[in-house]
Amino acid sequence: MARYVAAMSFQPIGLAAAAMLCFATAACGQGFVHDEKLDGPFDLVAVDEMEQMSLCRELEDGSCVGDQLGDETVFAAGYNHRFITLAIHPRKHWPAPADRSVTNYYYVTRTSTEKTDEGAGAILKGPLTEQQFASEKRKLKLPEFTRVFDELK
């Protein structure tokens, strides 16, 4: 089952070539290097490598979309019933590594309808500097980072 939805286009290929591609990628699109339920419809996923770690919304069909929920590389996350917090080392483009000298902070405002709209109403705020995030954290009582990926810090 393909979980992460991304905009892609494929040229038609033969059945034998498709089968070889599936065998070469082992799981044929199934399974990620990391797939973890954060809370509600929100998951932390990394498709091919840990540096792709991002927040996504799990849809009813089991797929996961990361539209408007921040970028790669999430290295810390936290949540409560009102917010999700993210610390992200930005990644300009694949396959370039994340820039670990820069940390952008975000928070997602959750909605009371996330169980029925699969989190589509969530609003992302950021990127914020460390000082801006600290101010917002005090003002809004944002949650602590409870999930930290030391290998991505």
145, 123 Cβ separation under 8 angstroms: no
Average pLDDT over residues 2-25: 38
DSSP structure string for 66-110 = -TTS--S-EEEEEE-SSEEEEEE----STTSPP-TT--EEEEEE-
More confident: 69 or 144: 144
pLDDT greater than 80 at residue 134:
yes
pLDDT digits (tens, 9 = 90+) for 111-131: 999 988 888 999 999 999 999
Q: What sign results for the dihedral spanned by CA atoms 92, 37, 80, 56?
A: positive
pLDDT of residue 30: 55
Largest CA distance in the chain: 58
Residue spans of the domains in the chain: they are 15-152
pLDDT digits (tens, 9 = 90+) for 88-114: 999 888 788 999 999 999 999 999 999
pLDDT of residue 64: 86
Under the banding of pLDDT at 50, 70 and 90, the label for residue 84 is very high
pLDDT digits (tens, 9 = 90+) for 17-52: 333 333 333 444 457 899 999 999 999 999 999 999
Under the banding of pLDDT at 50, 70 and 90, the label for residue 7 is very low
More confident: 1 or 64: 64
pLDDT of residue 41: 95
